[in-house]
Structure 1
Amino acid sequence: MFLQKIVAGVYGVNCYILGDDETKKCAVLDPGGSLDEILDTIKDNGFEIDYIILTHGHADHIGAVKDLKEKTNAKILAHEEEKFILNSSENNLSYMMGGAVEIEADEYLKDGQTIKLGNLELKIIHTPGHTPGCVCIKVDDILFTGDTLFAGSIGRTDLVGGNYDTILSSIKKLSNFNDELKVLPGHGPASKIGIEKSKNPFM
């Protein structure tokens, strides 16, 4: 499995390029910016991008989506509850960040759905609270948590569609995973479920 993190855009989003080494199929998770670096990484490693997968639709996570779609024709995937965030520059806050970005996903996902990426299986885990359509993505021993779970913290809930009680329920859901499962969040350093269970006050 190929995995490369790019700290993308002015808000330092962790964009991940995930690929299957055998089939050379890859997905880009949360391309918040840094389009050229993303494209160069894909090209330099001989991959073909199939999917642009969004853990949620806030502006800092979607800044390069339109350009990446235009250049690669990869399918944009997001949870079905995130449509009203993606479709509105006010709801996704892009109108405050130097330009209105409004996106329509090619496919809207459901909780528990599995995406095939070459020989990899990506399981979609609906974790609302930061936004209604937030998802985590589990691949083997890795959990991409977007802005649901951070090392030592959780996502904010004071933006459109956010709900504190709901995110706590989502965090409880994640606590059921194996302690050794690696956590790769949308901002900041990596962690593990076991570390968060012992040190994160929200878990």
Structure 2
Amino acid sequence: MTKPRAVVLVSGGLDSTTVVAMAQAQGFEVYALSFDYGQRHRAELIAAERTALSLGVAEHKVVSLDLRAIGGSALTDSSIAVPETESEGIPVTYVPARNTVFLSIALGWAEVLDSQAIFVGVNAVDYSGYPDCRPAFIEAFETMANLATKAGVEGRRLRIHTPLIDMSKADIVRRGSELGVDYSQTVSCYQATDEGLACGRCDSCRLRRAGFEAAGLADPTRYI
């Protein structure tokens, strides 16, 4: 029996790698999609290639686009420092419209693949400061996707799956570990070295470390 296809957004980090394993556990054939968008380092793209290979996805595609052209984020503008202390409001690591852009391209590939499923690892618990990680955004995008595509007009309704949306980092780590995810292959740090070593100080590093501690599991992250 042919498995249904799913496009899964893959950054190379802990969350998106877990989503790949979860999609596979649900019986989907995974088509992984990553973006070379002008981010601060390429270590996460190398990690994405590594994890896609180890998890045995059907295909891994990397799409190039340059969000440095508009900047506005510590992840795409080297003149904006990555914060190493907690802050209020929307953090400067928010990349303007990034999830909207990424999901739009994923939508196009899903149509080409005749897929009715897109998986994305957004999380409203740990990243509540990001407006494009909220359930309301995902619901609105899904509505738009089914209005704007040939597949949607013809009745092949697409669904955006967000399996991590209400999970804590500890729950994500536990679930991924149950599914056999090798987290030592992933890179979550906002300012990792070329070799993929994590700073241990940025928001992403702090959340990741706390997740392993709360889950009661050893943290395999390679720190500077």
| Pair in the same fold by TM > 0.5 | no
Q: TM-score, normalised by structure 1?
A: 0.36
In terms of fraction of residues, the more helix-rich structure is 2
Q: Which has the larger radius of gyration?
A: 2
In terms of fraction of residues, the more strand-rich structure is 1
Q: Relative contact order, CA 8 A, sep 6+: which one is greater?
A: 2
